Structure 1
Amino acid sequence: MDVFACAGCGTELTAPVSRVALPVHTHHGRWEDLHPPLMEPATYAVDPRPSGPPWRSWKEAGADAAARQGVFAPVHSVSFGARNRIVIAPGDSRSMTLIPGKCEGYCRGVDGRAGPNLACEGCGRAGATRMDDCGMWQAVWFEPDAVVRRPSALQAGPPPDWDDLEHADHRVPPVEPDGSWSRRWEAAAGVALAHLVAVTEDRPVNLPAGPVAELLGHAVGRYLDPGPGARSLALAGPGIHPPRPRPDVLLVPRHPVTGEPWRPPGDEGAVVPLDSGVWAYLAHPGETSPMPATGVLPEGVLRDDYPLSPPPWCPLTPHHGAFEDTLARLPAVRGPRLRRYRDAYRRAVPPASAG
């Protein structure tokens, strides 16, 4: 495990933390909602893409400079901020204090609009930003040049691996306790569908029967029109080998630590990576009782006397911002077919509904 310390005076600014993959929903929340922490306790992640100010409009930056920042299609603005910002859960921060006058936000918290709003208690150096306003996952972000990483005396357990995806506690249910769709599912669906549009080049897709079609069918239909020449898709991953012959596209999990997509040995075909917790639910939905139970039921018998959440009133709708942002960052979007698709889709979706 590691700790992060102030680059100025050496004060330790975090509890011991272990690196994991940056969550795909990091920059995509639901407007006017309060969100839980982005990161699990005792973990951290690094965002390799530029983020924060300074910002330049697409016209000002130009296509070549934007591509060097990882943006390959016209967007409202391009970040030329720092790369490799480090994110932790707020509860893992240590020895920092809020900076008066830098705690602005939209309505329910702070959003970092004035730059770093946390300072080291040891030397007063500003180097981190607490973010917890509505629509944002709660997090503390360190500027990469403000901290140094040191090994911790605390030994970490074995890092999560592919086998952990079969554990019940790794699954992310698609519905929140209040009956609304999971914010994480909405973002994960938007990200995965951008990859699906890219690998199929805007061609129809046939989904496999079962949880994939039931939960993602509406979402896929929203972004890909039906028609002839449909591509085949199947769920695959640890313990779920693709059928033969191989489908055109495999829906696979991202590794919990590296973020790399799972692949069958020696396979170089098209894959669409999916949030590992969302993938785990599709692959192993299991029993999801929210109530504790005592005693032992007979083998194969499930409880049916616990209260169920009300079902969502509408089908799962992907987070449009997650879809747009991901598609603009895939080099394939520069091709003529996907460029036409993106232009047509942006005309069909008014800006007010893009939240």
Structure 2
Amino acid sequence: MKRPQGFERPAQPRQAAPDAAQRKAQADARPTAPPASNESAARRRRADGASRRPSTAAPGAGSDPASASARTERIEPLRAQRPLRASDPHEDSERPVGADTAAGTAGADPIGAASVGAETARATSAPPSGTPGGWAARRALAKATRARRRYERAEVRRFTVRSRRRRLAWGVSLGAVGLLVVAVLIGAYSPIMALRDVRVEGASRVQAADVAAAFEPMLGTPLALVDRASVQEAMSGFPLIETYQTEAVPPGTLVVRIVERTPVGVIETDDGLALVDAAGVVMDRPESRPEGQPLITVDGGVSGDGFRAVASVVRALPADVRAQVTAASAETADDVTLQVGDAKVVWGSAEESGLKADVLAALLAAAPPGSVSLYDVSAPTSPVTM
């Protein structure tokens, strides 16, 4: 198997050649073979004499074949066993300690682990530190251990790259959301975003300065804390305002857009004349009928169907025609009549009021009120003048 890159076998330290004094000391230390025992020497002498003595028995003389073969059998001398010589301190380092274990488990290790294990085994089989090359062996062991650790860390990183990327993505996303929330909270509730100016748009009958003054208690409040209830309380003192809309403009401006109520006429009440709009809200109580506002006469007051029909007709009239209307009345929702100068206008119901208003404007242009006394636009496709 090819050794992975980065796990080369460490260089083995080269032993220095022993000089003549060391070789002589090793020879003197090596024990010699012990002398053979007397019994062994006697046995060899008898065997040598038997081999040189000629046989006196004639072949085939009737002697016992077994005894003849025993007399002619040569006895092999016993060889003295060679005693074990003293072990060399460097002799055990030729076979690494744990080499069998490393070889047996190489197939179970991941790619490159067997090579690192072999390097470690060879490094651990080095001579002791007191012998020549001991420090080099310890350095090789440390190098192999570091290589093994680097390999394991690389494998862990390789198999956990997806989870690490996923954790990094989640961390970045949550961090961005957290920073955004913190920035919004700081910006919305800090004094930088406090209310300092109120701008009023759409005011005509209502004084814009009076509307802005109603918001003075809110000055200094962060725009995010200016709620609907506070705005409604400030606008409740202006009955001429029909609808309003607020818009916060950073860093400290509140824009108030208002739509004033449009009066449709004057109606007689128990308390006198009342200028009302289409919803029947009293806008003013004048002493006499204002110029351009018709006097409305209906059954049931401002809550009846007749008033709602008259109000819808008056609001549909063009401005130049409306200025000429002096009175409006209705007993029911289908018999609305108007008074234009000395002429009477039969309107009918409030349906198709836009078309009827256009037809009446054309009739007034063609025949002024002084020339006719009646305009009937209840059927706008067939108007009648008399």
TM-score by length of 2: 0.17
**Structure (1 or 2) with the larger CA radius of gyration:** 2
Higher normalized contact order (CA 8 Å, seq sep 6+, divided by chain length): 1
TM-score by length of 1: 0.18
Structure with more of its chain in helix, by fraction: 2
